[in-house]
A and B are shown apart, each in its own frame.
Chain A
Amino acid sequence: MTSAYLALPVSIPLFAAGLTLVAGRRPRLQQLISVCALAAVLLISIAILIYVDRNGPLAFSVGGWTAPLGIELVADRLSALMLVVSSAVTLCVLLYSLGQGVADANEQTPLSIYHPTYLILSAGVANAFLAGDLFNLFVGFEILLAASYVLLTLGGTRARIRAGTTYIVVGIVSSLLFLIAIAMVYAATGTLNMAQLAIRLDGVALPVAITLQVSLLVAFGIKAAIFPLSAWLPDSYPTAPAPVTAVFAGLLTKVGVYAILRVQTLLFPNGALDTVLLWAGLFTMVVGILGAVAQSDLKRLLSFTLVSHIGFIVFGIGLASEAALSGAIYYVIHHITVQTTLFLIAGLVERAVGTTSIPRLGGLAKLAPMLAILFLVAGLNLAGIPPLSGFLGKLGLMQAGVAADNPLAYVLVAGGAVTTLLTLFAIAKAWNGAFWQTPSDRVARSFGVSITDASGATVKIKRAPMATQTQHLPVGMVAPTAVLLCIGLALTIFAGPLFDYTARSSQDLIERTPYIESVFPQGVPR
């Protein structure tokens, strides 16, 4: 396998985006191109993962300019795993959006730009995961952010313009901060290649290094929605179309988390800011979940749990031990799949009833049992009920926290436990309001059943006729959701091999040499 394959996960979606733009008037052709492109990316990512796991990290100099000068794409075990999971999730969400008919007939989503933008988003995500220098990472961020701005404001309705304004201004400010950080890193070291930076930053005076680290972490922290910098997320995500919210929730914040993980392990392994990260993780967990408990809209509730559970990952990164990083990587994978699934389910609820406001829902468990099963399993997975993957991820992190054996780590373990309980509470609250209870008028109307008979007395509610159910919940939407749910369950079934893999990748991260040597096989130029 030549390293040139590394360029494909970025270039295929970009090329396909151009094709879909040309094919703008032929929806069928557009759909075919997007599905083929993302399926190809998934297959290539799996091939890269297998190769990298066997033979160590792979590096590719784009355009033939060699390492410190040119654009470098690097895939180590961590990037390869992120790439596989992200391309699987983007493919599932694309199929879901096809099932929903987002791309046709819906006046709120313009026909021709959904597919190209979505493909560009996936190219940006892949580029960010593979970037081997800080500036290319910045470009990857910009590609995915620009695409996300368009997707979030699709159709330009009043609510989306309002939410989009906040999102876009915050996004641009974080990009500007990142750019300032890049300029300062270049001023201090004279390079932006991450492998070379890893060596050169060792020689930089500590105060300067900490300044650089803080500015990078603030820029990534906004993207990853870490506590003091997270208020924008629940404000802006819920108004977008369901598939868009799902893919944002799954991937965009995780790109920020990935960048933090990379920077903390490769560039600043001295752990100068670990305590700060641990505190940030604690507040992210607790403040986020308290926000979730207060919400009465399903999508907003999920957005707050999204923010909250990023705290778990930050907890793992802050501990910085091998076991903690391994747990954090597993948790990222779990979090991507489970949050995307939950947002897709919220989309199904919205499709069936027309709202996700919990007080306006009710009785869905009887009327649409399939939907209820999907939500229950995914919700319990998020809350960390054994033996689901949420439990395994939290267990791994908490074991690492106890092993670290310092007071702050114990505080975080306790904070994590409280967060888990409150997550269960929030999910139970949503379940109780939306799936139990008497069906509200609105739910009853959309499923074509009446709750009262002619004399005004309540009638016993039966399951809605199968025909009504499939009309409201098309197979094309339920199937991708179920597939994603099964991927989530597979994380439990294959937890053993997966934890071995994450342990190997965290070993690589701590050693640093495999990454550096893959970029500079002949030794790092000074």
Chain B
Amino acid sequence: MSSNLALILTMAALFAAGVYLLLERSLTRVLVGILLISNGISVLFLVVSGPAAGPPIVGISPESEMSDPLPQAMVLTAIVITLGMTAFILALAYRSWQLNRHDEVQDDAEDRRIVRLAQQDQRSSSYEEPDENDTDDIDRSGSDFDRPASDTTRGDS
């Protein structure tokens, strides 16, 4: 079976541009990247379905000259799904812009905090001094209880 070189080159170009855009931080560019890749996949399905032939309708083209209808059905489904996803990402990007005045993918704040803790080599919040272990913590003097609860070193003095 021979394949159409033009289609394959188109597909490769779409994939390359799409992957480049996917790696950007702005959600709108990511969206364009997703669109390019999904169009590339549609072209890939065209390549997969073999050389172009007559419409696959009984009575219009003889059975030996029909093109394969299944990939076309799949491409249609994929296009519909991509449409829905595009609408959702656009809404998401707009909401992000409403909230933050930009649509960039942000870092995970909690993750950053853990990394910072690790860099400072701070002991974990559930760590206790050994000499405190043998006293019942409920009967301990309450001197340190009015510290802010957000303090990550609560529990050891």
Contacts and interface: CB of A to CB of B under 8 A. Distances in A.
Interface string B41-70: 100110110000000000000000000001
Interface in A421-470: 429, 432-433, 436-438, 440-442, 451-452, 456-458, 460-461
B139 interface: yes
Interface string B20-32: 0010000100100
A179 interface: yes
Given A142-B81, A429-B126, A161 B89 contact: no
Interface stretch (A22-30, A294-302, A340-348, A393-401): A294-302
Q: How large is the interface on B (under 10, 10 to 19, 20 to 34, 35 or more residues)?
A: 35 or more
A320 to B, nearest CB: 30
Contact of A156 (B34, B95, B106, B138): B95
A513 B83 CA distance: 39
A297 B149 CA distance: 14
A385 to B, nearest CB: 20
A359 B138 CA distance: 17
B145 A458 contact: yes
A438 B147 CA distance: 13
Nearest to A162: B106
Contacts of B140: 438, 458
Given A176-B34, A297-B110, A437-B155, A442 B138 contact: no
Interface stretch (A80-88, A121-129, A182-190, A475-483): A182-190
A176 B37 contact: yes
Nearest to B68: A190
A142 B81 CA distance: 8
B37 A451 contact: no
Interface in A166-202: 166, 168-169, 172-173, 175-176, 179-180, 182-184, 186-187, 192
Interface string B107-125: 0101100100010000011
B152 A452 contact: no
Nearest to B38: A176
A526 interface: no
Contacts of A156: 95, 99
Contacts of A187: 47-48
B84 interface: yes
A165 interface: yes
B7 interface: no
Contacts of B71: 183, 186
A377 interface: no
B2 interface: no
Contacts of B48: 183-184, 186-187
Contacts of A53: none
Given A164-B92, A176-B34, A437-B155, A456 B149 contact: no
A441 B149 contact: yes
Interface in B79-96: 81, 84-85, 88-89, 92, 95-96
A166 B96 CA distance: 12
A265 B117 CA distance: 44
Given A179-B41, A183-B45, A168 B88 contact: yes
A184 to B, nearest CB: 8
A2 B143 CA distance: 72
Contacts of A97: none
B78 interface: yes
Interface of B: 22, 27, 30, 34, 37-38, 41, 44-45, 47-48, 70-71, 74, 77-78, 81, 84-85, 88-89, 92, 95-96, 99-100, 105-106, 108, 110-111, 114, 118, 124-126, 137-142, 145-146, 149-152, 154-155
12 contacts: A139-B77, A153-B92, A156-B99, A158-B100, A165-B27, A165-B106, A168-B88, A169-B30, A182-B74, A184-B48, A187-B48, A441-B145
